[in-house]
Structure 1
Amino acid sequence: MPIRRLAFVLVDGFALLSTAAALEPLRAANQFSKQPRYEVTLLSLAGHVATSSLGSPFETRPFDSVPLDFDLIFVVAGGDPKRLNHPALMAWLRRAGHAGIALGGISGGSVILAKAGLLGERRFTVHWHHYADFETLPGTWLLERRLFVIDRDRYTCAGGSAPLDMMHALIARDHGTPFAQRISDWFIQTEIRAADAPQTAPLSPRYDALPRAVTAAIELMQTHIADPLDQDQIARLAGLSTRQLQRQFRDSLGTSIMQEYRQIRLETGKDLLSTTHLPLGDIAEMTGFSSQAHFSTCFQAAFGETPSRWRKKAGPNTSGPAASRMA
């Protein structure tokens, strides 16, 4: 796989812990490889230094001094990102998005992406401290109270240690779970939290005490909702043959790989139906179904009623001036 180029825009006052939690796994991935896997560029709003929450200076390059040839750009922000008024940065981020570059927010970085108009029709998360910001920002937000969310070309996570979990998912997707696990072991990260783990609660008991490969597969499924992987990709990234992984799913969950995957995607769709006003076609696309009709057929088979009937019964249950989804 070719080297992936990542940029981090560090907004002064960014949290040192969450920044290190994002950068260190990438450094370790390069260290454990015969050739570099990731190229990292640190950027700032102005000048050549960005200052962390603890006053530590990071050498950077001005964001507008580099060409837009990255695979993924993260915005890292702490403090009060809603107050940031930087039209040039917003325009630069929009150009990156229009150029097909994936975008991410760490801690309060999602607030800045939202202000730039780059989180429309994307599931995302943010540090719990910034939840209230989305009650006053104009727009309809698919904000989820989770540890991290990867929705197609948007990568967002809470602060603190959450970037460790998101980077585990990113590296597992790029290079397989065994390689990502080696990096987690290096950092003595004895528990890999899944994408849908809330910021203040443990993972659902249903997924406790599963074989490691099954857990790895479920983590991959949860981070590829809108862009589903096939079962051979899942097995390869989980470190087993498709047949071996299929057997482990049957033994531990009583279902097949793709049946479990479809159920995860349908549960996400069910959640969106009851908490947003999105059209059914948009929800079908956001949960990786080929069409609204396909989504409706699968939904009815799983839950015994059509998506429209479920929505009429259960929601949408939105609140706040921005009609935000607070899942």
Structure 2
Amino acid sequence: MGDSTYPVEVAPARPAAIEITAPAKPRKFIFVLLDRFTLMCFASAVDALRIANRMAGAELYSWELVGEGGGTITCSAGTSFMLDRDLEEISRDDALLLVGGIDVASATTKRLVSWLRREARRGVTIGGLCTASWTMAVAGLLDGKRATIHWENQDSFAEEFPEIELTKSIFTADGKRITTAGGTASVDLMLHIIAQDHGEGLAALVADQLIYSSIRTDQDTQRLSIPTRIGVRHPRLSQVIREMEQNIEEPISPSILAADVGMSTRQLERLFRRYLSRSPKKYYMELRLGKARNLLMQTDMSIINVALACGFTSPSHFSKCYRAHYGTTPYRERGTHGTPVRG
């Protein structure tokens, strides 16, 4: 339900230096919940707005929950929410935020896409939280713009929408189009919006209430650093892994990777076996197969195109490597999970 249906919470004391002028009309956010949306990214966004109201002692923001067909919608955690209304025309002054989650392609229906295009033509600000960037892209709302999406979906997104400038940022704001990576990135986006609307002082108070000690900007990236991810702090090892991750389609030979960091191939082999218990060749193969699996699960690219995108020139070699690693062939993997449904 919209926040305006609840009494304004009593505001705690705030620093005298923080002066907030309540608007004549609260800024409204229309949260469009897609089937099996991610609860955290939605709850993080709403609670930041609620706390902003509480800290200000006034209704700075209000919101409504909207979804196709009205009624109820279920998040990926299995909890259902009552929607305020169906997909209807909204005020041009409102901001529309889509909330995506699991299997966003099947949640991106023709009716939803048509509605988004209509609202976009009317000049409404539209954003996508988590995987909802995909829905915006299908609707053509991100063409020629900067955008982000959860790191797990980046490979398939880049393949499907080459006309979009995909970033690894936690959130982006390009004109009237906003996208986030999901999870706690919703907090950072809302703190950014609150700071723009009412000053950084209020945004800092909201962050304190959320026990959010490090406010990130659109310059921050989604994933942990390579040393943190692999649990090893070795500069040259991190550099080699970064090169591998950036060159999946055209793999670089171990000898060149070693030379690039001033090592011999044998030294590089020892480094990988010492810290990662596998050879550079095997580690590189696992990266390539991981991307291949993402593309198989999240796109309708042909098997041969998936193979080529992951550095395999032979479909038979790709299938053999995939089966050795995952215990099934790419064809069976695609058949088990089904081809992604288009909106």
In structure 2, relative to structure 1, the CA distance for the partners of 1:127 and 1:35 (3 Å cut) is same
- Aligned residue for 1:92? 115
1:21 aligns with 2:13: no
- Aligned residue for 1:42? 65
Q: C-alpha separation between the residues in 2 aligned to 1:10 and 1:173? A: 25
- Aligned residue for 1:10? 33
Q: C-alpha separation between the residues in 2 aligned to 1:169 and 1:197? A: 13
1:80 aligns with 2:129: no
- Aligned residue for 1:188? 211
Match of 2:132 among 106, 109, 122: 109
Larger Rg belongs to = 2
Q: % of aligned pairs identical?
A: 32
Q: C-alpha separation between the residues in 1 aligned to 2:156 and 2:150? A: 11
1:44 deviates by 1.2
Structure 2: where are the runs of 5+ without partners? 1-22, 226-300, 306-343
1:77 deviates by 0.7
- Aligned residue for 2:75? 52
- Aligned residue for 2:220? 197
Q: C-alpha separation between the residues in 2 aligned to 1:118 and 1:190? A: 33
**C-alpha distance after superposition, 1:100-146 (max 9, x if no partner):** 11010000010000000100121111111111232342551111011
Q: C-alpha separation between the residues in 2 aligned to 1:138 and 1:172? A: 32
**TM-score when normalising by structure 2:** 0.56
- Aligned residue for 1:129? 152
Q: Is the 8 A contact 1:134 1:141 kept in 2?
A: no
Alignment: residue pair count: 204
**TM-score when normalising by structure 1:** 0.59
Q: Which shows bigger deviation, 162-171 or 38-47? A: 38-47
AA aligned opposite 2:118? R
Q: C-alpha separation between the residues in 2 aligned to 1:95 and 1:71? A: 14
Secondary structure, in 3 states, of the residue corresponding to 1:94?
helix
- Aligned residue for 2:194? 171
Q: C-alpha separation between the residues in 2 aligned to 1:67 and 1:194? A: 29
- Aligned residue for 1:118? 141
Alignment of 1:316-327 (within 5 A): none
AA aligned opposite 1:102? T
Structure 1: where are the runs of 5+ without partners? 203-319, 322-327
Alignment of 1:203-282 (within 5 A): none
Q: Is the 8 A contact 1:7 1:70 kept in 2?
A: no
1:96 deviates by 1.2
1:34 deviates by 3.2
1:68 deviates by 4.0
Secondary structure, in 3 states, of the residue corresponding to 1:131?
helix
**C-alpha distance after superposition, 1:140-195 (max 9, x if no partner):** 11110111111121111111111011111010000000011000000110111121
In structure 2, relative to structure 1, the CA distance for the partners of 1:183 and 1:191 (3 Å cut) is same
1:196 deviates by 1.2
Q: Is the 8 A contact 2:32 2:99 kept in 1?
A: yes
AA aligned opposite 1:83? S
Q: C-alpha separation between the residues in 2 aligned to 1:111 and 1:196? A: 21
Match of 2:84 among 43, 61, 67: 61
Q: C-alpha separation between the residues in 2 aligned to 1:172 and 1:147? A: 17
